[in-house]
């Protein structure tokens, strides 16, 4: 319901409200049940009782609206009573996650979560028998959370990782009867879970083992970090209470490979849960020949043979019950290949308990000629759920000849050349669902700032294929919007989440019944709240530079913006700019610092995406190879110069800020000393690429040995640009991602170059997100004080610092 209040009657947003979550929408949806045979079934935990409830969408709609009919077999039932999930002392277990067995007879409950890195945690894991109400704890250590991950197989076997070793439980009635698949796990050996660099830069998750579709075989990765060097940082106060620093700080020692130093050694293994055979995957012994395969294929095979000890494994996927495909690249990600392994062809050694499986190359790729890199994605989806039997058909996301990433179809595991199902100067972001030979995917279509859900059909044998430039869609592609989707595995219902730019909502729709709609979240309460506040004006557009480069831009303007030129506004440019990233998007943005800066302080905030960012094709993305920071800072500076010429911009009050790569790009923009920016704010920036991790950095920069000049040019150099601009630097001392070492380097350089008057803040024990013990709000208050000190208020405001207890003189 639109607000009846005039702009004069509305309230200004406080900084606490903007960054503290007051305007965050509720996006809670359903967790689809793949295990229940009926369609549209979801499972949820009741917050107070802890009961697990199974319900279907037709029942939920009838319950909420009184409309429609409940499907046959539909309804709502308490699947597990929370009071029945008890430890050995009879105490109810407060679980944070659960996984139901495929036969729905058992549930794994996870409790006592302890965070490790960004994605990884340790938990206590409990196996609950639904019929007997008995609960058993997994693992050897029952007092501490030590289990990193646990998974079900289709046969209701349980695999789990404890202390970096992989275990199997086949008899779920007796969890102590566990099989040790590995027994060499330690602080340097990771079995079936990723080490830090693979967790952060490859899988973006906490698991490195995957069951075959029939649940009989388990493929897992083994990481050997023995040669990886250690980075250490202090923990001054390990508690959540302020002012509890230790007499002698704790120290975190982490294996962190930096450019040019040893990487973890990775190997791939398959365990047969039926026979007990554990096999190692062996690289193909047969190499390509120039006559049969071409010179590029020979180059790739030779490079991969030379890189055997340093190869990266970036994707593992079962294509059938026995065949799997592995994507591997060399260390610097410019040559790679897909290798197919058939676990039915394992050759046993003399003992009969171990074996080897030799692979066969199916696809090869090389980007060294174009100067780009091989992206790290897990995009392969099989057609197993489409009734393909023993077929190894699959789809993937592959760049078409003009460099845009599209849906590619492979008729079998051995096929080398893709059959493209989509094409055009737009990019597919990810495949979200494959069912009945139809591929649903999200795409930056028809322009980069939006996300729409589209689909395309996979051809049957013999059918002629014409790639589609304009695929059919589930969402209205003429709408500026950002959609995300999750399908019920049965293939009829889907949960659609609208994330902006207007107030987000979550709804369930049906593919078969266009009239079916179940509203899960509309955020009506938030709608009433934000209606009482000033909201920024928002605008998407492109800036064309003098060299014809197009930079995407998104403006946030004050609610009372005057574009006539009578009033001149300070402008703060926000950047990230990392390779293949995106900041200019159509998502809901009220819960952002920009809302406070625009509507309360009267600034304009402009977000920019220049060259190197994603979803605009390979040529736009790959140009930054070998020298990060050069093209990115060029585009930002020249776009800012165009912005400064606008009649409503205060030319002496144009600033730039960013976090992580954005903090680095901010510093590189100031380094250019163009006179464009009068201030810059770098949060948790990279200072030298030699300080960052191998897999990310070498993908774009290669090794320091191969690219000494590029590394030197890409470093942040403190020069007159910092003398001529006001500079703010902030970082957490316990940043495991971008180490505080980089900020220390910058501080040392600022001192050495006699740069005076810069602002600096170190947040004790905060990681990359800077959120320890109230640090997140204080960071934004710190940056706000810096802006107000240098610019005062903007627009029509006469600034009075009412939003914090501090006063600006």
Q: Could you list the active site residues?
A: 660, 735, 768
Query: Alpha-carbon Rg of the chain, whole angstroms?
Result: 28
Residues in contact with 44: Cβ distance below 8 Å, sequence separation at least 6, in sequence order = 30, 31, 52, 53, 55
CA nearest to 130, candidates 35, 48, 57 = 35
Phi then psi dihedrals of residue 764, to 5 deg: -60, 130
Residue-wise burial string across 361-385, b where 16 or more C-beta atoms lie within 10 A, e elsewhere: bbbbbbbbeeebbbbbebbbbbbbb
CA nearest to 144, candidates 127, 124, 166, 167 = 124
- Name the residue with tokens 């055997």: 308
Strands (E), 319-414: 323-329, 335-342, 347-348, 354-358, 360-366, 381-382, 394-399, 405-410
Cα→Cα distances 649→38, 143, 561, 697, Å: 59, 61, 11, 37
Question: Taking a C-beta distance cutoff of 8 angstroms, is the pair 273, 168 a contact?
Answer: yes
CA nearest to 516, candidates 60, 31, 34 = 60
5: number of Cβ within 10 Å: 12
Please report which helix (H) or strand (E) contains residue 133, including its range.
none
Question: Taking a C-beta distance cutoff of 8 angstroms, is the pair 154, 213 a contact?
Answer: yes
Q: Six-digit token pair at 776?
A: 């997140």
Question: Taking a C-beta distance cutoff of 8 angstroms, is the pair 717, 671 a contact?
Answer: yes
Q: CA 685, CA 687: separation in Å to the nearest integer?
A: 6
- Name the residue with tokens 């096999």: 279
Strands (E), 576-648: 604-609
Q: CA 377, CA 329: separation in Å to the nearest integer?
A: 12
CA 684 to chain centre: 18
Cα→Cα distances 256→119, 164, 183, 207, 662, Å: 16, 17, 24, 19, 22
CA nearest to 636, candidates 574, 693, 563 = 574
Alpha-helical (H) ranges within 655-774 are 661-671, 694-701, 708-714, 720-723, 741-752
Please report which helix (H) or strand (E) contains residue 629, including its range.
none
Phi then psi dihedrals of residue 380, to 5 deg: -70, 130
CA 43 to chain centre: 25
Strands of the 76-80 sheet, one edge to the other: 31-32, 41-45, 52-56, 76-80
Q: CA 525, CA 500: separation in Å to the nearest integer?
A: 17
Half-sphere exposure of 736 (CA within 13 A, CB side): 18
Q: What is the DSSP code (8-state) at residue 202?
A: I
Q: CA 138, CA 147: separation in Å to the nearest integer?
A: 8
Strands of the 394-399 sheet, one edge to the other: 381-382, 394-399, 405-410, 419-420
Q: CA 318, CA 574: separation in Å to the nearest integer?
A: 42
Residues in contact with 146: Cβ distance below 8 Å, sequence separation at least 6, in sequence order = 122, 124, 139, 140, 162, 163
Q: CA 71, CA 492: separation in Å to the nearest integer?
A: 13
């Amino acid at each position: 319901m639109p607000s009846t209040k005039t702009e004069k009657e509305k309230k200004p947003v406080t900084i606490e409200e903007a960054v503290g979550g007051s305007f965050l929408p509720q996006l809670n949806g359903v967790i689809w049940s793949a295990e229940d045979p009926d369609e549209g079934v979801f499972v949820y935990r009741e917050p107070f009782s802890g009961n697990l409830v199974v319900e279907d969408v037709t029942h939920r709609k009838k319950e909420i609206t009184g409309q429609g009919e409940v499907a046959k077999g539909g309804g709502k039932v308490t699947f597990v009573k929370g009071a029945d999930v008890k430890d050995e002392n009879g105490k109810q277990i407060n679980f944070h996650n659960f996984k139901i067995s495929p036969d729905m007879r058992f549930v794994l409950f996870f409790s006592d979560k302890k965070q490790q890195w960004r994605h990884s945690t340790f938990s206590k894991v409990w196996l609950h028998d639904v019929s007997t109400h008995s609960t058993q704890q997994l693992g050897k250590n029952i007092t501490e959370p030590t289990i990193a991950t646990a998974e079900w197989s289709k046969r209701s076997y349980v695999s789990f990782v404890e202390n970096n070793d992989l275990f199997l439980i086949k008899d779920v009635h007796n969890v102590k009867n566990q099989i040790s698949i590995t027994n060499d796990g330690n602080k340097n050996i990771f079995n079936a879970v990723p080490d830090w660099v693979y967790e952060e830069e490859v899988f973006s998750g906490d698991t490195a083992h995957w069951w075959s579709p029939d649940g009989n075989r388990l493929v897992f990765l083994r990481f050997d970090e023995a040669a990886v060097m250690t980075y250490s940082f202090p923990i001054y106060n390990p508690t959540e209470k302020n002012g509890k620093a230790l007499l002698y700080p704790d120290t975190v020692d982490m294996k962190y490979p930096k450019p040019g130093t040893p990487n973890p050694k990775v190997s791939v293994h398959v365990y047969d849960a039926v026979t007990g055979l554990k096999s190692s995957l062996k690289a193909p012994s047969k190499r390509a020949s120039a006559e049969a395969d071409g010179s590029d294929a020979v180059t790739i095979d030779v490079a991969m043979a030379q890189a055997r000890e340093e190869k990266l494994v970036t994707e593992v996927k079962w294509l059938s019950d026995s065949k799997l495909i592995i994507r591997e690249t060399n260390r610097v990600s410019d040559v790679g290949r897909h290798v197919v392994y058939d676990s039915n062809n394992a050759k046993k050694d003399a003992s009969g308990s171990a074996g080897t499986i030799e692979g066969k190359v199916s696809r090869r790729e090389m980007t060294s000629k174009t100067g780009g890199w091989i992206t790290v994605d897990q995009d392969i989806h099989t057609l197993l759920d489409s009734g393909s039997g023993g077929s190894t058909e699959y789809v993937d996301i592959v760049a078409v000849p003009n460099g845009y990433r599209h849906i590619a179809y492979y008729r079998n595991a051995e096929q080398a050349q893709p059959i493209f199902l989509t094409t055009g100067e737009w990019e597919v972001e990810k495949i979200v669902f494959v069912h009945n030979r139809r591929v649903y995917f999200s795409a930056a279509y028809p322009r980069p700032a939006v996300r729409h859900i589209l689909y395309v059909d996979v051809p049957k044998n013999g059918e002629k294929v014409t790639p589609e430039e304009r695929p059919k869609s589930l969402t209205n592609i003429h709408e500026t919007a950002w959609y995300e989707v999750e399908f019920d595995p049965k293939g009829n219902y889907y949960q659609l989440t609208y994330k902006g730019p207007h107030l987000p909502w979550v709804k369930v729709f049906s593919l078969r019944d266009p009239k079916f709609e179940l509203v899960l979240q509309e955020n009506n309460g938030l709608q009433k709240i934000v209606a009482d506040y000033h909201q920024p004006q928002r605008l998407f557009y492109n800036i064309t530079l003098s060299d014809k480069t197009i930079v995407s831009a998104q403006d946030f303007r004050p609610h009372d913006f005057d574009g006539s030129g009578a009033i001149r506004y300070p402008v703060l440019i926000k950047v990230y700019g990392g390779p293949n990233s995106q900041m200019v998007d159509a998502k809901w943005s009220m819960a952002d610092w920009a809302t406070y800066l625009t509507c309360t302080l009267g600034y304009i905030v402009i977000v920019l995406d220049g060259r190197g960012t994603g979803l605009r094709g390979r040529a736009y993305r790959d140009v930054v190879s070998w020298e990060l920071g050069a093209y990115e800072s060029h585009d930002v500076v020249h776009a800012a110069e165009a912005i400064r010429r606008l009649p409503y911009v205060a030319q002496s009050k144009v600033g730039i800020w960013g976090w992580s790569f954005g903090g680095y790009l901010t510093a590189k923009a100031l380094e250019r000393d163009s006179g464009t920016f009068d201030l810059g704010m770098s949060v948790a920036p990279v200072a030298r690429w030699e300080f960052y991790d191998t897999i990310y950095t070498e993908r774009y920069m290669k090794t320091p040995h191969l690219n000494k000049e590029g590394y030197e040019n890409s470093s942040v150099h403190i020069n007159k640009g910092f003398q001529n601009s006001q500079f703010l630097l902030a970082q957490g001392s316990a940043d495991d991602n971008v180490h505080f070492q980089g900020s220390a380097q910058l501080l040392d350089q600022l001192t050495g170059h006699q740069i005076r008057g810069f602002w600096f803040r170190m947040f004790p024990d905060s990681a990359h997100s800077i959120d320890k013990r109230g640090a997140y709000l204080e960071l934004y208050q710190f940056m706000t004080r810096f802006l107000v000190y240098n610019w005062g208020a903007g627009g029509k405001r006469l600034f009075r610092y009412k939003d914090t207890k501090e006063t600006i003189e």
